[in-house]
Structure 1
């Protein structure tokens, strides 16, 4: 996970920020959004294709101030509960998030071959009832800043 993302940053902004260090070297990306105000909630799930890609990004950006949007935040990283492209795709493909705006959805990219790092179509849901439950529970999810 990339943490302390400036809240005004969009998915395109963050992807471009990552690309400046490791071009076409991620295969999963999801910047978590607050649906009420349209801003991100400060973290993103990012899966780097190789450990070397992760380390290159961490060496360049970890602990460094973002220097954008008048933010004083410092980029941090941590491991997420779900690891790897396959696990992340499985987690999100049956989520109601896939019905949200395109910019707010998780994105996947080819992991190998000539199209490495280019957008890949997200798989269709495989558990309709799980997706319906996700949509129904959307309002119950924790939203940062709310008590």
Structure 2
């Protein structure tokens, strides 16, 4: 008898678990850098260890259910286009620093329900900070133009979703459905 076990495309390969990717060094001239920002000015939080099968709407529903409905104005859950699963982290910008801190306290150590996952949320401030910086960064990102709306960043005003601003410069299109553009 032969048993075939299929790998879940949303799970990281075992040999990759626990290994961190090195981030490129941030240029001091990078206008998105928070290197010199005062801690009390930070409003954008990175939420990590999200179960990979969570969708944008599922995570937004949890955030709203925990009392942050009109308290954030930017949300982005990056997606692995090849596997069509989230990458395990999200970015949320809040209306002020105090709300960001409340969110961090509410979600640090929180276990998102709905899937058989052992992941426990971790929070921290994002490298890119503030609504304007996030919009400026993502409006020129190829990810803002993917064909599936649920894979794009979102902008909110008073809890209502708004059309995301168009590009301020020419952008290269993002891969569609797992296909990468050729150089």
State the TM-score, normalizing by the size of structure 2: 0.67
Moved over 3 A (4+): none
Q: Which residue of 2 is the match for residue 109 of structure 1?
A: 156
- What 5-or-longer segments of structure 2 have no aligned partner? 1-45
Q: Is the 8 A contact 2:53 2:86 kept in 1?
A: yes
Q: Which residue of 2 is the match for residue 14 of structure 1?
A: 59
Q: Which residue of 1 is the match for residue 163 of structure 2?
A: 121
Q: Which residue of 2 is the match for residue 47 of structure 1?
A: 93
- Work out the number of aligned pairs and report it: 131
Q: Which moved more, 1:42-51 or 1:62-71?
A: 62-71
Q: Is the 8 A contact 1:66 1:72 kept in 2?
A: no
- Distance apart, 1:67 and its partner CA: 2.9
Q: Is the 8 A contact 2:107 2:123 kept in 1?
A: no
Which protein shows a greater Rg? 2
RMSD of aligned alpha carbons: 1.8
Counterpart secondary structure, 1:72: coil
Q: As a proportion of its length, which structure holds more helix?
A: 1
Q: Which residue of 2 is the match for residue 79 of structure 1?
A: 125
